[in-house]
Structure formats: C-alpha cells, structure tokens
Amino acid sequence: MTYMNTLRLIIFLLFLPIMGQASEDLKYSYVHDSIGDRDDADGDVTFRTHQDNGVMYEYAHVNIKWKGGFFKSTITDDFIQKKEIKNGLVLYDIVEGDQKKGYSVFARHVNVKNYPVGFETKKIINDEGRHPAFSDYDWIFKFKTESVESIQINGQMRKSIYTKLWGSRPTSTTNCQMTQPGMNFSNSTGEIYVETWFDLQNNKLLKQVFTKYGCVPSRRLVSKETWVLIN
C-alpha cells in the first residue's frame, strides 16, 4: 500500500506540469468525526490546479486512513480525482470513480474581494448531482461573511476572512426520511453548517469545519470534517 501511495504521488507531482500550466500544490490535513466515534479518520489531501486546453482542472490526491470496526483494522482511501474547476461559492465532494459521496468541501476557489464583511447570499452552486443528500433540489442555503480574523496556521498568524454557510432541507422530501416511522431522527444529512477561513492576501482556504446534521427536527450530529492547510 505504501509503494502504491508513493507511485501515485510521483505521477501526481511530475506529470501534471507536462499536461498544462500548473499551480503550486496545496496540502491539507483532514480529520473526520462521526456519530459516537471521534477522529475515526484522518490523513491529508493534496490539491493541484492546472490549465489544459483553456480549461482549469483540479486534481485532488486523497490519502486518508479510516479506523476499522469490530476487528480494529484500518482502511486507507488512496485515489486521485480530476474535476473541472468552478469558481465561487461551490459545494462539492471529492469522490473516487463512480462513488456518490466522499469528502465534502466548500468554496475552495474564491476571490475574497468579492465577499466583503457583511456580504450575504442564498445563491450557492450545488455541484453534486449524484450525492444522496446534496442532490435534493429542496436545499435552502444562506452564506454570510462574518468578520476579519487572525488565525494561526502552521505556527504563523494569518489575516483571514471568516465566513459561515448554513443549509437545510425539509424532512418531508423523498431523500430525507426518518429512520423508522414515529422516530425523530434520520441518518441522512438534512442540515449543514460550514465555517471557513480564507487568506486575505492570496485567497487560499486556510481552514474549514464542515459539520453535517440529521434531518430536522433532530439535528443529530452525522459528521464533522476539518480541513487545515499544512504547507
């Protein structure tokens, strides 16, 4: 498994510049918490963007280890996703192949000058046509730029724009049903809360906490994904 990780990373780093104009690599630590199991997965994701025939693409190399279940074994998610970049307030998952869901991230490609403090909008690009939760057309979103904050990243203080995204969908829809009739909770994602810090100087996503809750009215914690820039 280690050999395959190394081989894929070499291909990822060496061959992309040949294919087009490439940018610097951005590497993030990733930690996943879920119902009743804190830190059940951790690892890193490395992003590189490049232009190929006039189109900008994002390559994401995922290397995340999941804790095992009953036998306490571990499973490593190791893959590379290629995705055409959409700029702005875009919600999407990093997925392997034909999987319907993966690692959720929001607004990785923005210009912070477009989102001054106090800016609000309900117009979010939901780029998830196959996701079992986010493909629901009934989602309602609200985004707001809250403040300018100092945040410590890799031991350095960075000036950042702090934003919040809230999203919810009605429980009565087909894809957001209660686990059992009469029960007041669901394992489906029915509400999200995303906190993000963007670098004021270069627009980089510095940190993001992407929290998912069950369908209203339970708001039962489903998962929390934390991204932190480490290079």
Predicted confidence (pLDDT) at residue 159 exceeds the cutoff of 60 = yes
pLDDT at 182: 57
Percentage of the chain exceeding pLDDT 70: 77
Domains of the chain, by residue range, sit at 1-85, 86-226
pLDDT at 19: 46
For residue 201, the SS3 value is coil
Residues recorded for the chain = 231
User: pTM of the predicted model, to two decimals?
Assistant: 0.85
Count the alpha carbons within 13 Å of 124 in the hemisphere toward its beta carbon. 26
pLDDT at 18: 44
* Interval 55-68 mean pLDDT: 92
Predicted confidence (pLDDT) at residue 85 exceeds the cutoff of 50 = yes
Predicted confidence (pLDDT) at residue 231 exceeds the cutoff of 70 = yes
Q: Shortest CA distance to 191 belongs to which of 213, 210, 217? A: 213
Partners of 166 in the β-ladder: 142, 193
Range with the largest mean pLDDT of 1-5, 20-24, 111-115, 171-175: 111-115
pLDDT at 115: 98
Residue 77: how many CB atoms within 10 A of its CB?
Answer: 17
Q: Amino acid letter at 192?
A: I
Residue 17: how many CB atoms within 10 A of its CB?
Answer: 12
